[in-house]
Structure 1
Amino acid sequence: MNKLVFLPLALLLLLTVSAMASSKVEAVHEQASKAIAIEAKAQRLYRNWTDIKERKADEIREMKATEDWLKFQEKKYNRYIQKQEEVIAELIRRKEEAKRINMELEPFLDTIVDQLESFVKADLPFLSEERERRIHFLQNSLDDYHLELSEKLRRVFEALLIETEYGQNVSTTTQELEINGIKTQASIFRLGRTALFYQTTDGLEIGIWDKKSGSWKTLNPTYSHALRRAKDMADRKRAVELLELPLGATK
Structure 2
Amino acid sequence: MNLMKPSLALILAACYSSSYAANSLSNAQAVQSQTNSASAASQKAIDKSAVNTLELRGDIERLQEEVKNMKVYRDHLAALVENQQGEADSLAVQIDEIKDTRQGIVPLMYAMLDGLKKVVADDKPIKLAQRQARIEKLDALMTRADVSDAEKYRRILEAYQIEMDYGTKLEAYQGDITIDGQNRQADILHLGRISLIARNFDQSEYWTWNQQAQTWQSVDASMQPQLNKAFSVAMQQAAPSLLTLPVSLAQGEEN
Instruction: Answer yes or no: same fold by TM over 0.5.
Output: yes
Q: In the TM superposition, what is the alpha-carbon distance from 1:238 to its structure 2 partner?
A: 1.8
Report the equivalent of 2:17.
17
Report the equivalent of 2:52.
52
Report the equivalent of 2:98.
98
| CA distances 1:110-150 after superposition (whole Å, capped 9, x unpaired) | 11111101110000013222221211111111122343323
Q: Compare 119-128 and 204-213 and name the one that shifted more.
A: 204-213
Report the equivalent of 2:174.
173
Residue 194, structure 1, aligned to residue 188, structure 2: no
Where in structure 2 are the equivalents of 1:50-129 lying within 5 Å?
50-129=50-129
Aligned residues of 2:174 and 2:188 also touching (Cα < 8 A) = yes
CA distance in 2, matches of 1:174, 1:48: 106
Aligned residues of 2:174 and 2:187 also touching (Cα < 8 A) = yes
What amino acid is aligned across from residue 208 of structure 1 in structure 2? T
| CA distances 1:86-119 after superposition (whole Å, capped 9, x unpaired) | 4434433443333333222222111111110111
Report the equivalent of 2:228.
228
Where in structure 2 are the equivalents of 1:134-149 lying within 5 Å?
134-149=134-149
CA distance in 1, matches of 2:54, 2:186: 109
| CA distances 1:145-179 after superposition (whole Å, capped 9, x unpaired) | 34332332333233223323322322243534334
Superposition RMSD in Å: 2.8
CA distance in 2, matches of 1:70, 1:124: 75
CA distance in 1, matches of 2:185, 2:79: 77
CA spacing shift, 1:63–1:240, aligned 2, 3 Å: same
CA distance in 2, matches of 1:249, 1:53: 104
- Where do 5+ consecutive residues of structure 2 fail to align? 251-255
SS of alignment partner, residue 3 of structure 2: helix
CA distance in 2, matches of 1:204, 1:83: 76
Aligned residues of 1:187 and 1:198 also touching (Cα < 8 A) = yes
- TM-score normalised by structure 2 residue count: 0.83
Q: Compare 34-43 and 204-213 and name the one that shifted more.
A: 204-213
What amino acid is aligned across from residue 150 of structure 1 in structure 2? A
CA distance in 1, matches of 2:174, 2:30: 135
Q: Compare 239-248 and 146-155 and name the one that shifted more.
A: 146-155
Q: In the TM superposition, what is the alpha-carbon distance from 1:23 to its structure 2 partner?
A: 3.2
Where in structure 2 are the equivalents of 1:212-223 lying within 5 Å?
212-223=212-223
- Where do 5+ consecutive residues of structure 1 fail to align? none
Q: Compare 26-35 and 230-239 and name the one that shifted more.
A: 26-35
CA distance in 2, matches of 1:225, 1:26: 150
